[in-house]
């Protein structure tokens, strides 16, 4: 499964996401602070 690394611009938290978590994060926002993230915030690993 594809892995991504993302960094939230609002809370500064870096985290790894798999495809499922990436989709959930795009829908619901950062898991820490709920700020909306764009697909560009995810770097494939
Ligand atoms: Zn955040």
Per-residue pLDDT tens over the stretch 1-45: 789 999 999 999 999 999 999 999 999 999 999 999 999 999 999
Query: Which residues surround the ion ligand 1 when the cut-off is CB under 5 Å?
Result: 8, 10-11, 30, 32-33, 35
At 4 the three-state DSSP class reads: strand
How far apart CA 43 and CA 45 sit, in angstroms, is 6
How far apart CA 9 and CA 31 sit, in angstroms, is 13
Residue 13 Cα to ligand 1 midpoint, Å, equals 6
Residue 15 Cα to ligand 1 midpoint, Å, equals 10
Please report the pLDDT score of residue 27 as a whole number.
97
What separation in angstroms does the CA of 28 have from each of 9, 10, 15, 18, 39?
Answer: 15, 15, 15, 15, 13
Please report the pLDDT score of residue 23 as a whole number.
96
Structure-token match 């764009």, residue found: 38
The model's pTM: 0.84
Please report the pLDDT score of residue 6 as a whole number.
96
Please report the pLDDT score of residue 1 as a whole number.
78
Distance of CA 13 to the CA centre of its chain: 10
């Amino acid at each position: 499964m594809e892995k991504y690394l993302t960094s939230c611009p609002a809370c500064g938290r870096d985290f790894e996401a798999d495809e499922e978590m990436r989709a959930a994060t795009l829908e619901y926002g950062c898991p820490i602070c709920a700020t909306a993230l764009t697909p560009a915030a995810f770097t494939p690993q």
